[in-house]
Chain A
Amino acid sequence: MRAPDRKQEIPRKPLLWFAAALLFSVPPMFGNLVWWVPVSFLAVLIAKFRMEQRGIRLRSTPWKLAAAAAMLGAIHFHYHTLTGLEPGLSISILLISIKILEAHTARDFHILALLGWFLSLAGLFVSQGIGAGFFAAVTFWLILTAVAQFHGGASRRGIVAPLLSSLRLLIVAVPLIAVMFFLFPRGSGPFRFELKHSMFNRTGMSDELSPGSVSALALSSDVAFRVEFPDGNVPRPSNLYWRGAILMKDEGLAWSSIHEGMARSQPENVTGVPVRQIIVAQPNNGQWLFALDWPAKPPGKDMIFNGINMQAGNILHSTKPVYSPRRYEINSFPNNRETRLRSVERRACLQLPAVIPARASELVQSWTADGAAPRIIVARALDFFRKENFTYSITPGAYGDDALDDFLFKRRVGFCEHYAAAFGTLMRMAGIPSRVVVGYQGGQFNSLGNYLVVRQSDAHAWCEVWIADTGWERADPTSVVAPGRLDMGFTGYMDMGAAAHAGAGAVGDLQTSGAWGKQPILRQLQLAWDTISYEWDAHVLNFDEETQQTFFLNLGLVDIRPLRLLGWLVLVAIFLLCLQSIWLWWQARVSTDPAKALYDRFSRRVAVLGVERVPWEGPVRFAARASEQLPAHAPRIQRITGMYTALRYSESQGEAAETAATRALKQEIKAFCSRSEAPGK
């Protein structure tokens, strides 16, 4: 087989490896592609092998352009746009397909390999999770195999041998990869592009609370965030309220977020023992970050700290969109209260919806008629939800125009968002400032990784009411309608198997979440997988500028400007390359067998005596010539030559015999060198 030439066609085997690599590059994107994109990609790969056998390829430029135009048209038809992540992925895959059909020469093959690497990069835009990482790594490895095989860097026989040869390349690279991981300067700098993530169908928080918005999340077992409690003081499960956003604008059964009139204020009495949390938030649609109820900024810091913006109502916002796992540390004080309410804020928190159902007014009237204290009114309202026949359901159905009236007095079926919204509205009607908080409640404890997993299914909405002498207080109507809602968190918290989930069945439709962990072994595997994912997110993906700085500060390095880091990186890389070169030099050194080395020593000695051996002279001829010119040494020269030729040119008598013969030759030559002092005068 001739080695590759620029004009030479692509050998079949590297092409096969390349095809295998591409098969691994697409699966992570499946969820974000229209079905016909991966199907046509597969069809192209199959067609390529047919075509390559017959020497056919896509040559004509008009056809190529037509194919590209058809493809762009189809994508536009489906998405109604060509920008954004999903259309971008589809376009990349289809353009690569056209290139595959066209590719024919060695140069094209290299372009294909580079495009393959690009495709695995594209996959990482969809997900950076450990599963996607695995696919990207396999794709990388297979493309490396294809390229190496193409250039003689990998064996051309079989399946395992080429994979092993390229794996060797990868293993040699591991130390440098590790060094780069730590030393390569991170940081974003002024350049930034933002892919339109709007087309992501990722579930998560939103700025609005409309009926059904939380229950839509309840079926998703996607992880919202994971929390470690480094001090070990994990709050009771019923107290695990994770604040996400505050909704101020009341429209009856729907609320939305308007921060008008809200002032940023730190809770005044920061008391009690803080609950320290290390949270790794999964990518979400916006800038949401979560924390246990009543997070506090670190003492002495601004309201904006570590890329977190502490907003009004003690809500955390990331300063930039959370497109990749985000790790942050935050302290919370469960006993804190926000004790100041400015008049603007008070007015905002009493704003009523445009239409108020008459029956609702009557109901509120019945609570406030005796001029009871706000706290009593809140209790009465909660009692109303407890005693009347309210049902907690994940599928409450849609509410129409008279949503509030319908919910409160007719159907009385709702999920937490209905209860929070209705309760908040009733409170405002009773003259008690109120607001709705959305976030998560509960979580599932992973005993293996020692952290709490909060999933989208833990999404929750509750109310906060202003009690004049204490401040904002949490009032969760869901807790009285469906006490099991809090147990849900409890079961996960205890990290129990099927037995503990028996209670979850009582919570009506919510038992879907209890489906995990019916099988203890499966559950263990799941915990293990989640733990690996967590470590991956927290320590590998999250190694950003800030983490890098902390890492080196902890090592005692203070000056870690990017250029200095780069300098260190280059130095360490050179050091590693030197080590590798020494190893290779050691392997590349000319091999000599001991007998040859001894014989060379003998030849040098004879040269000193006056007879030099020319390079092409065989030992026997040389011995004859030397004996003739040095008659005094003739017997010894003949004997040594005989031993040497026997050792080197006769059939092997086994290793032991060879070693013995070598030793004898060594003695003989040693004797010759020491006793032939006088050049036989």
Chain B
Amino acid sequence: MIGRRSSSPALRPTGNISGLILIFMAMWYAGASQGNGAAYLLFFLLMSVIIVSIPGTLANLKSLQVTAESVKSAFAGQEIALPVEVGNLSRHSRHAIAVSLPDGSGEAAMLDEIFAGQSARGTIHFPVVKRGEHTISQIVLTSDFPLGFLKARSRVAVSQRYIVYPKPEGDPRLPPAASRPASHNAKSPSGGDDFTGVRAYVPGESQRHIDWKAVARGLPMMTKQFTAENEGELHFDFSTLPQARMEARLSQLALWVVEAERLRRRYGLRLPSQEIPVSLGEAHCHRCLRALALHS
């Protein structure tokens, strides 16, 4: 993704300005009503410093190049992390720049200082609620450098897509395996619910099966697997679900996909619009979740 240059900034006062105006009035009043020349001078001093800081505030957002990087998909109700890189094309350092979304949602990325000719990276975090494919078309740079009484705001056009999977919700028990026998009999040694090992945790999975002891030892989050559950292929069919609402059905399917993936059971997905054949693995999981996210 190629970075875009920031637009020319707009200026607006921050909430701190009301107090400042009060102080201005006090100083002016003291100067005028008491004939206090020193109070007048203090008034001019403060006023001038604030006024001459304006061009600096505006210039602080000029000649910046913003690059939004690719975003990892997330489930509805989670947070999306949008990595951004802000390059400073000018010959002067840039200070205290907040990078955020136009609607101001989420947590802005704060860049304290970007040296001339260099760039700085940050991450915008924002919550997502609706499944589907979304586009970030704009990123906003704001800065109240240097004194915090005025805020410059500049927009940058970007084009960054991200997908929000349906929130996994519903009955965590997987549906019964397909009635027809599995074509190839999976390695299914007896042993009931024997522990067979661990694999990497997939976001959205139930946390009951995380190997917390390993986490406590400083290892990454791993999910424990049990063989007993590993029998038969699963077919998740949108049309056979008991839920009435489409979103509830999609959430149920998402939960099953995550659960099946966690249990390492092969599964397939049938939606009215498309059918994903039985398989297993991270790529397959994301393909299914993506199909659920984009279902309309």
Contact call B32/A323, Cβ cutoff below 8 A: no
**For chain B, what secondary structure do more than half of its interface residues adopt (helix, strand, loop), or is it mixed?**
helix
Query: Which residues of chain B are within 8 angstroms of A193 by Cβ–Cβ distance?
Result: 29, 33-34
Contact call A186/B32, Cβ cutoff below 8 A: yes
Query: Which residues of chain B are within 8 angstroms of A137 by Cβ–Cβ distance?
Result: 45
Contact partner, A136, options B29, B42, B110, B144, Cβ 8 Å = B42
Interface residue total, chain A, C-beta cutoff 8 A? 69
Q: Report the minimum CB–CB distance from A678 to chain B (whole Å).
A: 33
Contact call B98/A3, Cβ cutoff below 8 A: yes
CA distance A325 to B19 in the complex (A): 30
Q: Report the minimum CB–CB distance from A163 to chain B (whole Å).
A: 14
Query: Which residues of chain A are within 8 angstroms of B16 by Cβ–Cβ distance?
Result: 107, 110
Contact call B46/A588, Cβ cutoff below 8 A: no
Q: Flag whether A236 is at the interface (Cβ < 8 A).
A: no
In the complex formed, the residue of B with least CB distance to A139 is: B42
Query: Which residues of chain A are within 8 angstroms of B144 by Cβ–Cβ distance?
Result: 151
In the complex formed, the residue of A with least CB distance to B37 is: A541
Contact call B29/A191, Cβ cutoff below 8 A: yes
Contact call A153/B34, Cβ cutoff below 8 A: no
Contact call B52/A323, Cβ cutoff below 8 A: no
Contact partner, B30, options A125, A153, A615, Cβ 8 Å = A125
Knowing A114-B20, A152-B113, A616-B2, the reply to whether A191 touches B33 (Cβ < 8 A) is: yes
Query: Which residues of chain B are within 8 angstroms of A111 by Cβ–Cβ distance?
Result: 19
CA distance A587 to B30 in the complex (A): 39
In the complex formed, the residue of B with least CB distance to A147 is: B147
Knowing A136-B42, A591-B116, the reply to whether A580 touches B55 (Cβ < 8 A) is: yes
Query: Which residues of chain B are within 8 angstroms of A4 by Cβ–Cβ distance?
Result: 148
Interface residues of B in 258-286 (CB under 8 A from A): none
Query: Which residues of chain B are within 8 angstroms of A616 by Cβ–Cβ distance?
Result: 2
Q: Which of A173-181, A449-457, A476-484, A520-528 is found at the contact surface with chain B? A: A173-181
Q: Which of B87-95, B168-176, B214-222 is found at the contact surface with chain A? A: B87-95
CA distance A568 to B176 in the complex (A): 85
Contact partner, B92, options A128, A132, A587, Cβ 8 Å = A587
Q: Report the minimum CB–CB distance from A504 to chain B (whole Å).
A: 35
Contact call A540/B41, Cβ cutoff below 8 A: yes
Query: Which residues of chain B are within 8 angstroms of A107 by Cβ–Cβ distance?
Result: 15-16
Q: Which of A116-124, A384-392, A423-431, A635-643 is found at the contact surface with chain B? A: A116-124
CA distance A170 to B117 in the complex (A): 27
Q: Flag whether A573 is at the interface (Cβ < 8 A).
A: yes
Interface membership of chain A positions 169-209, coded 1 if the CB is closer than 8 angstroms to chain B and 0 otherwise: 11011101100110010111101110100000000000000
In the complex formed, the residue of B with least CB distance to A193 is: B33
Contact partner, B37, options A151, A174, A542, Cβ 8 Å = A542
Contact call A324/B35, Cβ cutoff below 8 A: yes
Interface residues of B in 34-51 (CB under 8 A from A): 34-42, 44-49, 51
Q: Report the minimum CB–CB distance from A648 to chain B (whole Å).
A: 14
Contact partner, A324, options B34, B46, B54, B116, Cβ 8 Å = B34
Contact call B146/A148, Cβ cutoff below 8 A: yes
Q: Flag whether A39 is at the interface (Cβ < 8 A).
A: no
Q: Flag whether A544 is at the interface (Cβ < 8 A).
A: yes
Query: Which residues of chain A are within 8 angstroms of B96 by Cβ–Cβ distance?
Result: 3, 151-153
Contact partner, B33, options A192, A325, A577, Cβ 8 Å = A192
In the complex formed, the residue of B with least CB distance to A171 is: B52
Contact partner, A180, options B23, B48, B98, Cβ 8 Å = B48
Contact call A3/B112, Cβ cutoff below 8 A: yes
CA distance A346 to B51 in the complex (A): 64
Interface residue total, chain B, C-beta cutoff 8 A? 57
CA distance A576 to B44 in the complex (A): 15
Q: Flag whether A54 is at the interface (Cβ < 8 A).
A: no
In the complex formed, the residue of A with least CB distance to B46 is: A117
Q: Flag whether A241 is at the interface (Cβ < 8 A).
A: no
Query: Which residues of chain B are within 8 angstroms of A132 by Cβ–Cβ distance?
Result: 38
CA distance A154 to B113 in the complex (A): 11
Q: Flag whether B235 is at the interface (Cβ < 8 A).
A: no
In the complex formed, the residue of B with least CB distance to A582 is: B55
Q: Flag whether B244 is at the interface (Cβ < 8 A).
A: no
Query: Which residues of chain A are within 8 angstroms of B38 by Cβ–Cβ distance?
Result: 124, 128, 132-133, 136, 324, 541
Q: Flag whether A660 is at the interface (Cβ < 8 A).
A: no
Contact call A323/B35, Cβ cutoff below 8 A: yes
Q: Flag whether A399 is at the interface (Cβ < 8 A).
A: no
CA distance A241 to B207 in the complex (A): 97
CA distance A133 to B62 in the complex (A): 38
Which among A107, A191, A584, A588 has the highest number of chain B CB atoms within 10 Å? A588
Contact call B147/A151, Cβ cutoff below 8 A: yes
Contact call B44/A184, Cβ cutoff below 8 A: yes
Knowing A186-B40, A195-B34, the reply to whether A154 touches B89 (Cβ < 8 A) is: no
Q: Report the minimum CB–CB distance from A88 to chain B (whole Å).
A: 12
Q: Report the minimum CB–CB distance from B48 to chain A (whole Å).
A: 4
Contact call A173/B45, Cβ cutoff below 8 A: yes
CA distance A619 to B137 in the complex (A): 31
Query: Which residues of chain A are within 8 angstroms of B51 by Cβ–Cβ distance?
Result: 173, 176, 573, 577
Contact call B148/A151, Cβ cutoff below 8 A: yes
In the complex formed, the residue of B with least CB distance to A140 is: B45
In the complex formed, the residue of B with least CB distance to A574 is: B51
CA distance A170 to B51 in the complex (A): 11
Which among B22, B33, B147 has the highest number of chain A CB atoms within 10 Å? B147
Interface residues of A in 85-136 (CB under 8 A from B): 107, 110-111, 114, 117-118, 120-121, 124-125, 128, 132-133, 136
Query: Which residues of chain A are within 8 angstroms of B165 by Cβ–Cβ distance?
Result: none
CA distance A192 to B33 in the complex (A): 5
Contact call A114/B19, Cβ cutoff below 8 A: yes
Known: A169-B146, A189-B32; 9 extra A-B contacts, CB below 8 A, are: A121-B26, A124-B30, A133-B38, A148-B147, A188-B33, A191-B29, A192-B33, A540-B37, A587-B90
Residues of B that sit less than 8 Å from A by CB: 2, 15-16, 19-20, 22-23, 26-27, 29-30, 32-42, 44-49, 51-56, 58-59, 62-63, 89-92, 95-96, 98, 110-113, 116-117, 143-148
Closest 3 CB pairs of A and B: A153-B146, A152-B96, A541-B37
Interchain Cβ contacts under 8 Å between A and B, 9 examples: A118-B26, A133-B41, A151-B147, A152-B146, A153-B95, A180-B47, A193-B34, A577-B54, A589-B91
